[in-house]
Structure 1
Amino acid sequence: MSAADSATAPVRIGVLGAASVAWRRMLPALAAAAGVEITALASRELARATRFTDRFGGVPVRGYAELLARPDVDAVYLALPNGLHHRWAAAALRAGKHVLGEKPLTTEAAATADLLRLAGQRNLVLRENFTPAHHPMHGVVRDLLAAGRLGALRHLTGSFCFPPLPGGDVRYRADLGGGALLDAGVYPLRLAQLLLGDEDRLEVSGAVLRIDPASGVDVSGSALLATRSGVIVTAEFGFEHSYASRYQLWGAAARLAVDRAFTPPPEHRPVLRIDEQDHTEELVLAAADQYACTATAFAVAVRAARSGAPATAPDAAATLRTAELVDEIRATARRITVPGSG
């Protein structure tokens, strides 16, 4: 394929896994993205794969290895349980496929580093599907911080919690990388990195994890972190709460709050509320589809790499640091057995 053809040819996507997030969020975005074609979807159950391809197109495939062997797949969207991410992302990269992997990219930092190294060696695009990074509202918040609108930043609190899941949900499976830290906790952790920048390195000071003895996974928790410049960060997460998806930045001059922050619907118009001593201001932003933005950005990166551009992810360091923070939280956390369980 010539460089000109590489820049315009559709990115042919194969999907590994028939997960709920794929059905609800990413496959509608990928199917609608310009220059993207869903060519195959693999599941352990052919009937399940067929249900997806009936809606989004492509060929249903039984088995993940079979999909990776297909010549009509340029890139893979990985929507498997967390504990399977490293194995199948590595297999996809070795098969010459670009990879968009659901977050968390893997369940531990060493495995994440391995995938980043593997992608770099082959000049393949590897992206962790952290969709909030593609929503413009967080760029507006960064600009307000940089302009001094809040004064010197003192504290950032991020919360992503939701009610208990059905008992058979994969997120209660310890052997498949379940638990609230990996499923929900990575959102406020990565958000803090996104807003504060990796140059002001976040470090873990302490954490608490509530453990369900029946499943062995953490069902909620909180982590206390700080940057080297002294900004305090609190991350709250779990699936035993009423719903919350928000963050707050508290500075010397003002406080900024954002609700529906991590998974806003495409039609949602974010509201940034800024509270000062004697004044409150609300900035209403334009709606944006972070899933569509993510799909488009991945396709653009793949086409660029096919044309010979370096495929190194601009957020590779942040992806690895998130995984390191998860490892640090696990290593330092006080574990509390959930009362009334087991």
Structure 2
Amino acid sequence: MTVRWGFLGAGSIAHSSVGPAVRAAVGHTLHAVAARDERRAAALRPARVYRHYEQVLTDPDVDAVYVCLHNRAHVTQVGAALRHGKHVLCEKPLGLTAAEVAAMTTEATAARRVLVEAAWNRWHPRTRTVETLLAAGEVGRVERVVARFHGASPPPGNYRRRAALGGGALWDVGCYAVAGALSALDWRQPTEVTATAARWEDGDADVTTRARLTFDAGTTVDVVAALDGRDDQLLEVHGEAGVLRLPHPAFTAGAAPATALLTPRGAATRVFDYPATDPYRLMVEAFGAAVRGEGTWLVSLAESAAVARTLDAIRAALAVPDRAAGAGVSPRPGAGRP
């Protein structure tokens, strides 16, 4: 079975990563793309170009839909695609709240369709190895985690600067850092959360969010999510038996070789090297296997829900309510900057 894809949206990620991954994956084809700018849709070289998303959803030749719209549109378009009988791969974050993720999960279960958050870095062989090492207890009981992601600053006017569209650093890159931390803690939820944030002067979304998550037995996680133009990513897991470290880029490895470092207490560091790879293609191929009913590993909806609950808790810990979802940011643009 060839999986015939329909894209909702033709943004940069569709052009740079997911579109090429679909074309490169065996047994996949890009059948249709819908976008307000039909020229951008046509540039992806689908068999059919549409102006309206509904046209993709009602196309009987589309098996799977990729949702790559602004974050606020995810819950609406995922639900619509499921109700039209399509399997769905949705850009991260899957939902802006845990309640949205729960609603989508319920709809996917009722429709008997595959729904997966496109947390593409989770398919990278390095991430898979790290999660296996942590599950095997290679660092012992986890005492402290550091997870930070400083990413590119979106241009003025970009939706990532607008809270009403689900923009901001916490939703855009914080989901990577939080998922990395939770994977070290068996996807448990923190018992206490404190957080601070700062927003852009020309936008109402957060440019930086910092959070301290406290778990049972005193384990702490320090999360930094920022769209401040710095290129800095790190994941460190400190345990009683050693330290596991993913140096930069901790969450977006792919086009270049990557490394993971495991340092058992009192022993030499073990170095895990990975060649350049395409985790987007691995994600597409795994998704296709699930659509065909084949056994495969996927980012589970339970894990997506765990990340969403923690992001909810971070937003709830912020002091000043914002206009998007009851969260808050510091009124001072410089507050919370590294």
TM-score, with structure 2 as normaliser: 0.88
3-state DSSP class of the match of 1:160?
Answer: strand
Q: Which residue of 1 aligns with 2:331?
A: 337
TM-align CA RMSD: 2.4
Q: Deviations over 1:251-281 (max 9, x none)?
A: 2343222121211124423242537567444
Residues 237 and 164 of structure 1: CA distance in aligned 2, closer, same or farther (over 3 Å)? same
3-state DSSP class of the match of 1:284?
Answer: strand
Question: Which 5+ residue runs of structure 1 have no aligned equivalent?
Answer: 1-8
After TM superposition, the structure 1 = structure 2 runs for residues 47-58 of structure 1, keeping only pairs within 5 Å, are: 47-53=39-45, 57-58=46-47
2:193 is the counterpart of 1:205: yes
Alignment match of 2:177 (pick from 172, 188, 196): 188
Give the deviation of 1:226 after TM superposition: 2.7
Residues 67 and 293 of structure 1: CA distance in aligned 2, closer, same or farther (over 3 Å)? same
Q: Which residue of 2 aligns with 1:3?
A: none
Answer with 279-288 or 105-114: which moved more: 279-288
**Counterparts of 2:96 and 2:104, CA distance in 1:** 12
Residues 34 and 204 of structure 1: CA distance in aligned 2, closer, same or farther (over 3 Å)? farther
Give the deviation of 1:115 after TM superposition: 0.7
Residues 120 and 69 of structure 1: CA distance in aligned 2, closer, same or farther (over 3 Å)? same
**Counterparts of 1:329 and 1:204, CA distance in 2:** 10
Residues 290 and 230 of structure 1: CA distance in aligned 2, closer, same or farther (over 3 Å)? farther
Residues 209 and 234 of structure 1: CA distance in aligned 2, closer, same or farther (over 3 Å)? same
Q: Deviations over 1:274-328 (max 9, x none)?
A: 37567444332344321111111110111118xxx9x997611111121111111
- State the AA in 1 paired with 2:304: T
Give the deviation of 1:244 after TM superposition: 1.1
Answer with 314-323 or 69-78: which moved more: 314-323
Alignment match of 1:27 (pick from 9, 15, 19): 19
Answer with 58-67 or 223-232: which moved more: 223-232
**Counterparts of 2:289 and 2:192, CA distance in 1:** 35
Residues 213 and 339 of structure 1: CA distance in aligned 2, closer, same or farther (over 3 Å)? closer
- The 8 Å contact of residues 122 and 299 in structure 2, kept in 1 or not, is answered as no
Identity %: 33
**Counterparts of 2:311 and 2:176, CA distance in 1:** 11
2:3 is the counterpart of 1:11: yes
After TM superposition, the structure 1 = structure 2 runs for residues 255-294 of structure 1, keeping only pairs within 5 Å, are: 255-259=243-247, 260-272=249-261, 274=263, 276=265, 279-294=268-283
Question: Which 5+ residue runs of structure 2 have no aligned equivalent?
Answer: 320-328
- State the AA in 1 paired with 2:225: F
Q: Which residue of 2 aligns with 1:249?
A: 237
**Counterparts of 2:144 and 2:334, CA distance in 1:** 34
| Number of residue pairs aligned between Structure 1 and Structure 2 | 325
- The 8 Å contact of residues 197 and 209 in structure 2, kept in 1 or not, is answered as yes
2:231 is the counterpart of 1:240: no
TM-score, with structure 1 as normaliser: 0.87
**Counterparts of 2:298 and 2:103, CA distance in 1:** 14
